[in-house]
Amino acid sequence: MTDTAPVALITGAAHRLGAHTARKLHQRGWNVAIHCRSRREQANTLADELNTLRHDSARVVQADLSRAAEVEALAQEAMAQWQRLDALVNNASVFYPNPVAEATLADWDTVMHTNLRAPFLLLQACLPALKQHSGAVVNLIDIYSERPLPDHPLYCASKAGLASMTQSLAKDLAPDIRVNGVSPGAILWPEGDAAIDESYQQSILAKTPLARTGTPDDIAGAIVFLICDAPFVTGQILSVDGGRSLNM
Label residue 204 exposed, middle or buried (CB < 10 Å: 0-12, 13-18, 19+).
middle
Q: Using 50, 70 and 90 to split pLDDT, how confident is the model at 248?
A: low
What does the pLDDT read at residue 198? 72
Q: What is the pLDDT of residues 137-156, one digit of tens each?
A: 999 999 889 888 899 999 99
Set 96, 144, 155, 200: catalytic member: 155
- For residue 62, tell me if it sits in a domain: yes
Residue 204 lies inside a defined structural domain of this protein: no
Instruction: Flag whether 248 is in a domain.
Output: no
CA 76 to each of CA 84, 121, 167: distance values in angstroms, whole numbers, following the listed order: 10, 12, 25
Residue 191 pLDDT: 66
Q: Which residue has the higher pLDDT, 236 or 243?
A: 236
pLDDT of the residue at 192: 61
Q: Is the pTM of this model over 0.85?
A: yes
Per-chain mean pLDDT for the chain: 93
pLDDT of residue 149: 87
In a domain, 201, yes or no: no
What CATH number corresponds to the domain at position 123? Answer: 3.40.50.720
Total tally of structural domains belonging to the chain: 1
d(CA 245, CA 50) in angstroms, rounded, equals 35
| Per-residue pLDDT, 8 | 98
Q: Which residues fall within 8 angstroms of residue 106, CB to CB, at 6 or more apart?
A: none
pLDDT exceeds cutoff 70 at 227: yes
Does residue 2 have a pLDDT over 80?
no
Residue 96 known to be catalytic: no
Residues spanned by the domain of 163 = 7-188+216-240
Residue 140 lies in a domain: yes
Question: 40 in a domain, yes or no?
Answer: yes
